[in-house]
């Protein structure tokens, strides 16, 4: 005898029908939006304008987030995640997006690139930071994504060196939390005989390894956490410390998540390309300073005093050796608030035009929880 349909089932079916109606409306509006995007793309091609406009995307997210209330189930983070994917699809509709990144596939840089350019873009994994810049300079890709600093390990020297010797510009930044996962095909920890990962990841997860009595196992360092996941996908008595995206890529079960000792470990990535952003009102500028009179007393102090004189707020300064010189000469990577076209910033560059290399002005980045 067939059981009757309960009131709860009827209520659930009714809600699902309402969701179906909303989904139909959303799809219709998305189709309308993409039609408008296509028209914008035609206009951009006619005037030679850039497809990717981070300042415009930021303004849209800020405007939409301002309409959210305390009782809404969506928050700014959710709006950002939804619209980042819509933006990525829109850009690919205007022109196929080719993005080079510091590989391999499944690396944290790959994850950062996917956060910004979505699932539809064409991704090219390259083995070194210089090769990413070379691909950009040769026109083989439009965008490059590389790490520039980690809040525990400091600046990425190769990125700074290539920015300071290139005409390419930083056009966007994003900050990702670095969360490590412990993955394996083993059913129990007692079956694990060997652990693979990048050397630095072992140190970042030392407390987890010790508390689970894993610190006596064989640790094998490889060139990336993604490579560790690949090896473990072929070895049944081993485990890897890697990202969730690498685990998913190689079909590995995640035994433990967020195993890092410090949960505020974050890496800043930059998007590099061959165009210049318009001011957004919430910008950051990066420069590389090479002081002509660096041997003189208080030479750096004089530069910093100029920043104060022109009312420019520094957010970061980091020294970097100048490899072209062999007398221990140093330059300085500097971040500050504002855009290159701002009047006060132009004043600083006019005074220090032979000492400051402009590396890019871009919308101050979002933080993403992975």
- pLDDT tens for each residue of 225-257: 999 999 999 998 999 999 888 998 899 999 999
User: In sequence order, what are the residues at sequence separation of 6 or more whose Cβ sits closer than 8 angstroms to the Cβ of residue 216?
Assistant: none
Q: Where are the domains of the chain?
A: 21-94, 98-177+266-367, 181-256
Q: Which residue has the higher pLDDT, 22 or 71?
A: 22
Shortest CA distance to 243 belongs to which of 74, 346, 109? Answer: 109
Cite the beta strand spans of the chain per DSSP E.
Answer: 98-102, 122-126, 143-150, 154-155, 169-177, 181-184, 194-198, 218-222, 238-242, 254-256, 266-273, 283-289, 314-321, 330-337, 356-363, 366-367
Query: Does the pLDDT value for residue 338 go beyond 90?
Result: yes
Residue that has been written with the tokens 């974050």 in this structure = 266
- pLDDT of 366 reads 55
- pLDDT of 295 reads 61
pTM of the model: 0.75
Shortest CA distance to 79 belongs to which of 68, 89, 91, 93? Answer: 68
Mean pLDDT of the chain: 88
Burial 208-229 (b: 16+ CB within 10 A, else e): bbeeeebeeeebeebebbbbbb
**In which region does residue 88 sit, left (phi positive, over 0), alpha (psi from -120 to 50) or beta (all else)?**
alpha
Query: Does the pLDDT value for residue 106 go beyond 70?
Result: yes
- Report whether CATH 3.40.190.10 matches the domain 98-177+266-367: yes
Residue that has been written with the tokens 């590099």 in this structure = 272
pLDDT digits (tens, 9 = 90+) for 176-217: 888 999 999 999 999 999 999 988 899 889 999 999 999 899
- pLDDT of 94 reads 67
Q: How far apart are CA 170 and CA 156, in angstroms?
A: 15
CATH match for 181-256 among 3.20.20.140, 3.40.50.720, 3.40.630.10, 3.40.190.10: 3.40.190.10
Asked whether 358 and 349 are in contact (CB, 8 A), the reply is yes
Averaged pLDDT, 335-360:
95
Q: How far apart are CA 205 and CA 263, in angstroms?
A: 10
- pLDDT of 28 reads 94
Q: Which residue has the higher pLDDT, 358 or 292?
A: 358
Which residues are registered as beta bridge partners of 147?
269
Q: Which residue has the higher pLDDT, 102 or 10?
A: 102
- pLDDT of 88 reads 81
Averaged pLDDT, 10-28:
91
- pLDDT of 294 reads 61
- pLDDT of 9 reads 80
- pLDDT of 368 reads 44
Query: Does the pLDDT value for residue 361 go beyond 50?
Result: yes
Averaged pLDDT, 288-317:
87
Identical fold between 98-177+266-367 and 181-256: yes
Query: Does the pLDDT value for residue 3 go beyond 80?
Result: no
pLDDT digits (tens, 9 = 90+) for 254-280: 999 999 998 888 899 999 999 888 898
Share of the chain above pLDDT 90, in %: 53
The H helix count followed by the E strand count for the chain is 12, 16
CATH match for 21-94 among 1.20.59.10, 3.30.1330.40, 3.40.50.450, 2.60.40.10: 1.20.59.10
Token pair, residue 143, equals 């965008």
- pLDDT of 126 reads 94
Query: Does the pLDDT value for residue 1 go beyond 50?
Result: no
pLDDT digits (tens, 9 = 90+) for 140-161: 999 999 999 988 778 999 999 9
Asked whether 240 and 184 are in contact (CB, 8 A), the reply is yes
Identify the band that residue 43 occupies on the pLDDT scale cut at 50, 70 and 90. confident
């Amino acid at each position: 005898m067939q059981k009757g349909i309960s009131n709860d089932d009827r209520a659930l079916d009714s809600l699902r029908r309402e969701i179906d109606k909303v989904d139909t409306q959303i799809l219709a509006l998305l189709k309308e939006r993409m039609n408008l995007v296509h028209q914008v793309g035609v206009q951009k091609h006619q005037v030679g304008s850039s497809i990717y406009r981070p300042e415009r995307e930021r303004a849209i997210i800020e405007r939409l987030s301002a309409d959210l209330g305390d009782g809404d189930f969506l928050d700014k983070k959710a709006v950002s995640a939804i619209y980042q994917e819509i933006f990525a699809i829109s850009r690919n509709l205007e022109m196929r997006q080719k993005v080079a990144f510091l590989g391999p596939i499944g690396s944290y840089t790959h994850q950062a690139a996917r956060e910004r350019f979505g699932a539809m873009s064409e991704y090219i994994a390259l083995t070194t930071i210089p090769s990413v810049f070379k691909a950009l300079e040769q026109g083989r890709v439009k965008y490059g994504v590389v790490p520039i600093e980690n809040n525990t390990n400091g600046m990425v020297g190769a990125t700074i060196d290539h920015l300071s010797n290139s005409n390419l510009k930083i056009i966007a930044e994003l900050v990702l939390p670095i969360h490590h996962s412990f993955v394996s095909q083993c059913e129990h920890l007692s079956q694990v005989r060997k652990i693979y990962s990048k050397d630095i990841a072992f140190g970042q997860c030392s407390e987890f390894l010790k508390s689970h009595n894993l610190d006596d196992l064989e640790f094998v360092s490889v060139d990336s956490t993604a490579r560790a996941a690949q090896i473990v996908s072929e070895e049944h008595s081993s485990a890897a410390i890697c990202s969730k995206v690498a685990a998913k890529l190689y079909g590995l079960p995640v035994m433990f998540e967020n195993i890092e000792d410090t949960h505020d470990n974050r890496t800043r990535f930059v998007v590099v390309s061959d165009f210049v952003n318009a001011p957004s009102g919430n910008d950051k500028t990066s420069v590389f300073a090479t002081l002509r009179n660096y041997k003189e007393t208080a030479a750096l102090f004089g530069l910093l005093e100029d920043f104060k004189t022109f009312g420019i707020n520094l957010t970061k300064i980091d020294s970097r050796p100048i490899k072209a010189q062999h007398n221990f000469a140093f330059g300085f990577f500097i971040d500050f608030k504002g855009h290159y076209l701002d009047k006060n910033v132009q004043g600083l560059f006019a005074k220090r035009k032979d000492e400051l290399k402009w590396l890019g002005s871009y919308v101050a980045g979002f933080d993403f929880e992975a």
